[in-house]
């Protein structure tokens, strides 16, 4: 073979090698494109655990604590806005009634004292509740001292001084005074019941919020695990079957 033939042989070998390299590059590109179409999620970086808030779990005790502070807030945390409105609305109503009962007691007590000043010549300065209660049952100080010795011989007399004097102008007025005092006592009891109702509302809200969060966590745990789904593409120039995989921890 001459020099010219050898040159032609070398040129043919180089052309064949370049054509093969080009064909291989196209095949690798198509393979890479096919892998990119697979809906696979890359695993999280090593050493980084998923955050607790991202797994859908909630703390039942956080819901309880929020409900004890303010009923309704625990249900907002638990994802139950409807029940949150119910418990918060009940809280508003209870405390509104407590304020109303407190004001009513103060008004009735003040009305009773003013009534005794007008109809029993009472000097209200320095009078405690025990002294004001005596005016409900006795027409005057002398009747109290006399009856007191019969009912309870050890009970001390009220001294005959100006600050212990009273004299009802009519029995009906004394009874009206007693009714005012009784109305004040009823308002005081209702205010106490409102405080207990507020406490009960917190307890019920806490238990209900705990139940909702506990059920939410139980459902979330059931939804965890390996899930597979198929996506078949039997038509077109590139038929394939894609497998969708998801794994929850």
**pLDDT for 104-117, tens place per residue?**
999 999 999 999 99
For residue 31, give both structure tokens. 């393979």
pLDDT of residue 42: 46
**pLDDT for 134-173, tens place per residue?**
999 999 999 999 887 777 777 788 999 999 999 999 999 9
- Binned at pLDDT 50, 70 and 90, residue 241 comes out as low
pLDDT at 34 over 50: no
Residue ranges of alpha helices (H) inside the chain are: 3-36, 60-69, 73-78, 81-120, 129-134, 141-151, 171-222
Across 97-101, 133-137, 218-222, least confident range: 218-222
Buried/exposed code over 167-188 (b: 16+ C-beta within 10 A; e: otherwise): ebeeeeebeebeebbebbeebb
pLDDT at 184 over 50: yes
Model pTM?
0.64
| Residue 168, domain member (yes or no) | yes
The average pLDDT across 180-189 equals 97
Name the residue with higher pLDDT: 233 or 206.
206
| Residue 24, domain member (yes or no) | no
pLDDT of residue 50: 41
How far is CA 64 from each of CA 206, 208, 212, rounded to the nearest angstrom? 5, 9, 11
- Binned at pLDDT 50, 70 and 90, residue 248 comes out as low
97: containing domain: 54-248
| Residue 180, domain member (yes or no) | yes
| Residue 59, domain member (yes or no) | yes
- Per the CB < 8 A criterion, the answer to whether 74 and 63 are in contact is yes
- How many domains, in total, are found in the chain? 1
- Per the CB < 8 A criterion, the answer to whether 70 and 91 are in contact is yes
| Residue 47, domain member (yes or no) | no
Conformational region of residue 177, where left means phi above 0, alpha means psi within -120 to 50, and beta covers everything else: alpha
Name the residue with higher pLDDT: 16 or 211.
211
């Amino acid at each position: 073979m001459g020099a010219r033939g050898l040159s032609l042989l070398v040129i043919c070998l180089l052309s064949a090698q370049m054509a093969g390299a080009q064909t291989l590059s196209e095949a690798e590109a198509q393979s890479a494109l096919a892998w990119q179409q697979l809906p696979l999620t890359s695993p999280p970086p090593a050493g980084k655990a998923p955050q607790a808030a991202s797994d859908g779990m909630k703390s039942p005790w956080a819901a309880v604590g929020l409900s004890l502070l303010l009923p309704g807030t625990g249900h907002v945390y638990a994802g139950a806005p409807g029940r949150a409105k119910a418990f918060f609305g009940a809280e508003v109503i209870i405390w509104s009634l407590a304020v109303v009962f407190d004001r009513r007691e103060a008004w009735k007590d003040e009305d009773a004292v003013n009534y005794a000043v007008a109809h029993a010549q009472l000097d209200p300065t320095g009078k405690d509740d025990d002294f004001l209660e005596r005016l409900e049952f006795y027409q005057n100080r002398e009747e109290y001292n006399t009856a007191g010795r019969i009912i309870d011989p050890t009970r001390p007399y009220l001294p005959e001084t100006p600050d212990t004097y009273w004299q009802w102008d009519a029995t009906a007025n004394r009874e009206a005074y007693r009714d005012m005092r009784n109305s004040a006592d009823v308002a005081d009891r209702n205010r106490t019941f409102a405080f207990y109702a507020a406490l009960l509302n917190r307890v019920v809200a806490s238990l209900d919020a705990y139940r909702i969060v506990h059920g939410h966590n139980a459902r979330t745990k059931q939804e965890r695990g390996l899930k597979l789904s198929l996506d078949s593409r039997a038509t077109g120039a590139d038929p394939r079957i894609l497998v969708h995989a998801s794994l929850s921890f």
